[in-house]
Chain A
């Protein structure tokens, strides 16, 4: 195990300790599960007036290893080191590519459907949040296939749709903790599917601008639908700073990938993630 991993393990252990210490917080969390979509005032501490300090961030009860495994969320203690390491390397690569730019909005989209965009987006956000100096915000824009219920305790909480449709809802009301330290989420929302015209809505721009203001070391990850068949994704791409294209193994063709890359544009496309590579039992590798 590398030194970095050892350090990370230490961090994790200390966090666990902290969570157990915050027994009242956990209780509060349990209570919250019973309440409806009403926003708890305790979580509104998330928004400082000035740029926030990450160490001051509130934590909700952490997701258990079993929950993570069931939701395909990477975890430092997981047995599949390959995937875990892949995401950690991925995170490092991205921060190297982006450099000093604060609060970058990175959109994750894919070539073709069922490419595992949400899987890549959530785990990238998780991997970023592993770093104690960084925080991540996952925005669920894939309304057709919402897949982040596990981060909001399987509850219906106000999200992006609600924000875009109703002007009285504030940004604070739609940002929720995830059960992962230093990671927040804006879910799709309670209301039904927003049409693409909402993305052209000035509210979206306002939202993005506001989010950027919150933490300097925050990575905003947008989980978008696939760009090959979806116009929403193209509109979203224009609002975001960077785009990462997920290429599913054995599904997308080179032609399709090239077309999607052109649709995104060179200046925004950070690169691709090759997903769903089939696994071969260890004894057969090499």
Chain B
């Protein structure tokens, strides 16, 4: 491999010497033209500025928790979008006075393109955007860089302020919506309550308590009734025992005494109860019964002559007492029965009420929940809206700055980019490399045989001898003349380049 490459180098040398005239002319033409281009090459002045971007976005803190924010990563490309946009470009042309100078929109478009091509926007670090602009005139390089940075910040802030206004408006709209929802929930709840009187919070509990009370009362009454019945039975037994011992008073007498007693009771009751009170009605009925009995007894005594009335029995105080007790007990039993009925009725009613409460209870819970949720969101949104209002006002006054110029644009004093020295160096190098490259390519790609080995090794035909051209004396002289010319061309070219460099240093070009 190594021997082959060194062989190629030898070949290259051979060819270079064979074509020395070509090499010299190409060298001269290329290096001189590159140096001449260098003298005309416009000087470039670059100015740059950096802008610091704060991480936070206006919507971030406002909508924290309420909405998810997308991350912004490539700030330079966003900045490029904004700066290369027509908005800023037009403003720039206006500020530079180019708009009046070139009213033709096609020309303006071309100007914008040329500005864009000379603009370089890159992320220096995470939060730093570097804007670099180069121009032939240092003044305008500085001015345009400065202008673009300012316009960019202005535009970004306007955009941000627009954003915060949007945010405020959005939240405000939400507030209105929730307000309506809340009102509707309230109305519905109100309406439902007016339709269902019992629809009060905790109604189910009170009904339950009431029914328990009623049930206790009923048990109590039943108990009392049982007791009264037992007493009645025992009184009856006692009375029959007494009857044997004492004779019976005439019936009508007895009835009359009884009526008087009942009347007395009735009067007492009337003091504290209405006529409709069951006990009073009961008494009245008894009195009427007794009066009827008196009439019947009187008729019987007149027709059946004298009944055997044992005055002694009638006048027996124990018997009378017992009789009275028995009456009392009877009355009591009747009263208790009436109360029992009444209580049963109340229980029934209560049960019905409980049933109806159960039915509308689910709906009530739903309405109440709606109302609660809506009112919660509403109050939350209202507080957010106030925050948004503050942010919006901040942006309006440009107080919540998130962009600022970190490094001011500067006025460049020395040109940047490709310099004349580069042309001076590149010219001769290219002048040598290009013809050598051409010759190298010819050797590489021409199929013509250039070495013994390609005959002996590739074709397998022996090479008996290898000779070079034998020059005649005239040819030798011609060759020497050629070499001198070639050397002159080379030396002339190099001295031209050096003198151009010296002239440039002296500032004459």
> CB distance A271 to B449 under 8 Å?
no
- The interface residues of chain B lying within 8 Å CB-to-CB of A94 are 464
Shortest CB distance B38–A (Å) = 32
- The interface residues of chain A lying within 8 Å CB-to-CB of B17 are 278-281, 284
Contact of A93 among B461, B464, B469, B472 (CB under 8 A): B464
> CB distance B468 to A83 under 8 Å?
yes
Query: Given the complex of chains A and B, what is the CA–CA distance between A13 and B455 in angstroms?
Result: 39
Contact of B466 among A116, A270, A273 (CB under 8 A): A273
Is B452 at the interface (CB under 8 A from chain A)? yes
B415-448 with Cβ < 8 A to chain A: 446-448
Binary per-residue interface labels of chain A (251-286) against chain B in the complex, 1 for a CB within 8 Å, 0 otherwise: 111110110010000000111111111111100100
> CB distance B467 to A274 under 8 Å?
yes
Pick the interface stretch among A45-53, A66-74, A163-171, A222-230.
Answer: A66-74
> CB distance B448 to A250 under 8 Å?
yes
Most chain B CB neighbours (cut-off 10 Å) among A90, A119, A257, A277? A277
> CB distance A274 to B470 under 8 Å?
no
> CB distance A278 to B468 under 8 Å?
yes
Is A132 at the interface (CB under 8 A from chain B)? no
Shortest CB distance B2–A (Å) = 15
Q: A254-B454, A272-B455 are known contacts. Are A90 and B473 too (CB-CB below 8 A)?
A: no
Is A82 at the interface (CB under 8 A from chain B)? yes
Query: Given the complex of chains A and B, what is the CA–CA distance between A56 and B283 in angstroms?
Result: 199
Kindly state the interface size class of chain B when it binds its partner. 20 to 34
Query: Given the complex of chains A and B, what is the CA–CA distance between A278 and B20 in angstroms?
Result: 12
Shortest CB distance B408–A (Å) = 60
Query: Given the complex of chains A and B, what is the CA–CA distance between A69 and B10 in angstroms?
Result: 28
| Complex: chain A residue closest to B13, CB-CB | A280
Is A120 at the interface (CB under 8 A from chain B)? yes
Is B3 at the interface (CB under 8 A from chain A)? no
Binary per-residue interface labels of chain B (459-485) against chain A in the complex, 1 for a CB within 8 Å, 0 otherwise: 101111111111011100000000000
> CB distance A74 to B470 under 8 Å?
yes
> CB distance A70 to B472 under 8 Å?
yes
Contact of A278 among B18, B446, B462, B465 (CB under 8 A): B18
Shortest CB distance A9–B (Å) = 20
Is A244 at the interface (CB under 8 A from chain B)? yes
> CB distance B468 to A72 under 8 Å?
no
Is A151 at the interface (CB under 8 A from chain B)? no
Query: Given the complex of chains A and B, what is the CA–CA distance between A93 and B467 in angstroms?
Result: 14
> CB distance A271 to B461 under 8 Å?
yes
Contact of B449 among A69, A93, A247 (CB under 8 A): A247
Is A89 at the interface (CB under 8 A from chain B)? yes
- The interface residues of chain A lying within 8 Å CB-to-CB of B470 are 72, 74, 80, 83, 119
B310-364 with Cβ < 8 A to chain A: none
Is B495 at the interface (CB under 8 A from chain A)? no
| Complex: chain A residue closest to B447, CB-CB | A253
- The interface residues of chain A lying within 8 Å CB-to-CB of B452 are 274
- The interface residues of chain A lying within 8 Å CB-to-CB of B474 are 70
Is A86 at the interface (CB under 8 A from chain B)? yes
> CB distance B461 to A250 under 8 Å?
no
> CB distance B466 to A257 under 8 Å?
no
Query: Given the complex of chains A and B, what is the CA–CA distance between A70 and B470 in angstroms?
Result: 10
Is B176 at the interface (CB under 8 A from chain A)? no
Shortest CB distance B467–A (Å) = 5
Is B14 at the interface (CB under 8 A from chain A)? yes
Is B458 at the interface (CB under 8 A from chain A)? yes
Nearest 10 CB-CB pairings of A with B: A90-B465, A271-B462, A271-B464, A274-B466, A278-B18, A278-B14, A253-B447, A277-B468, A86-B467, A72-B470
Using A253-B448, A278-B468 as known contacts, list a sample of 19 further A-B pairs with CB atoms less than 8 Å apart, ordered by residue number in A: A71-B472, A72-B470, A72-B472, A82-B467, A82-B468, A116-B469, A253-B447, A253-B449, A257-B449, A257-B455, A257-B459, A270-B464, A272-B462, A274-B449, A274-B465, A277-B468, A279-B468, A284-B13, A284-B17
A contact set with B: CB distance below 8 Å: 66, 69-72, 74, 80, 82-83, 86-87, 89-90, 93-94, 97, 116, 119-120, 244-245, 247, 249-255, 257-258, 261, 269-281, 284
List 27 contacting pairs A-B, 8 Å CB cutoff, sorted by A. A70-B473, A72-B470, A82-B467, A86-B465, A86-B467, A90-B464, A90-B465, A97-B464, A119-B470, A120-B467, A244-B464, A247-B455, A249-B449, A249-B450, A250-B448, A251-B449, A252-B448, A254-B458, A254-B459, A257-B455, A273-B463, A273-B465, A274-B465, A275-B468, A277-B469, A280-B14, A281-B17
